[in-house]
Structure 1
Amino acid sequence: MATTPAGRHIRNPQGTGGRLRADILAAAGRILESTGSDDAVTLRAIAREAGITAPAIYAHFADRDAIRRTVIEQTFTQLATVLTTAADTEHEPVARLHVVCHAYLDFAARRPHHYRLLFERHRAARGADAGPAAPDVGSIVGADAFGVLLQAADSCIRSGASTAVDPVASATRVWVGLHGQATLQASLPWFPWPPADRLATDVVRRMADLR
């Protein structure tokens, strides 16, 4: 959907397929951010926000779940980009792990509704035929984002900065700690939390078995 200089949305011309698909996804993202509710992201609401008719959506997405899955995949890709950019700023293994983890928490804080969607709807994102468990971490949705964390944890082990022996287990523990901090601080803002940076540093040090 196009926007006028005054900020007023106008309908897209018919037949703009690639742009229309992007507009549908952007509309779904705006609804999610403005309402904070995945349930509010309906086909009718998306069509209204994008300035199109609901049937036009079916040329690009089979149903609401298909849109949700794509939003999840896009958000994980954006998270991976943020983490990779952070990792590239540091070369020392421990500093790199910390900067990646702080970037993760910053992403979760800046985009809380998208972050929550990543995990609330993760089963839908894996698809109906994925089975009860993914065979390896490389096959899950979000593998690229986890991969950045895994590489950082592995570098700490290889350098001797961590006493851990299994990089996947180490990265998983760190991820659990980060997710716990991100979700609890969002859910319980009134709790007397210590400063977020200090808490994150302590969580990472303990979960990664840093010396």
Structure 2
Amino acid sequence: MRNIILSIAFFSIFSCNNSENKIEFTPSAVKEINEIVKVIIAEDSLEVFENAKDKKMLCKELIRLNIYIPEKPKNGKIPPPPPPSFNDVSITDLMHYDRNSTFFKAVDSLYLIKQNLNPEKLEIDSNIVGQINFTTKDKEISKKKAEQPYSYYEMTIPVFSLDNQVAYVELNYYCGRLCGSGKSVYLKKNNGKWKVIEKWRTWIS
């Protein structure tokens, strides 16, 4: 029943012109998003600051996370999961970070789906996050096409609960054809400060 409701909501959201429904972040929301980026950099010890010993790069732009609804079982058979895709996550996985513990609540479901209307990209504010070794995805793709070494982190735009007390981000690291990894990062607000509460490996190459 929940899948049916979510499906209806999903299609009703996208039946309108997307340009009219794009989410516009308020200055306070942008600040909060950048604070989350700062927390993830610190808690994962990402050496992306300009004064770091082992300098790595971070994409200047956060990218949109696509949230999808899994297919319903057909004839009692559960359909196979879709092929691995970076920065796509099912609503089911968002709701339960370890398949047993609830992270987002049922009341958050429609709000999470609505965040598919986030902008495709959001630039990180170095005034909040700090002096970072920034790069762009286009620059790194150009290196890859030219068969030059590349190494960089990329984060998604956080998605939030309806009460703005929990958030989810995906962090990916790319360093070559057979070099890279990704993780899911779950955060919770404690006394007004964001804190990472769970991290799960999503892929490794």
Q: Same fold (TM over 0.5)?
A: no
> What is the TM-score normalised by the length of structure 1?
0.29
Higher relative contact order, chain-length normalized (CA < 8 Å, sep 6+): 2
Higher helix share: 1
Comparing both structures, which one devotes a greater share of its residues to strand?
Answer: 2
Question: Of the two, which has the highest radius of gyration?
Answer: 1
Q: TM-score, normalised by structure 2?
A: 0.29
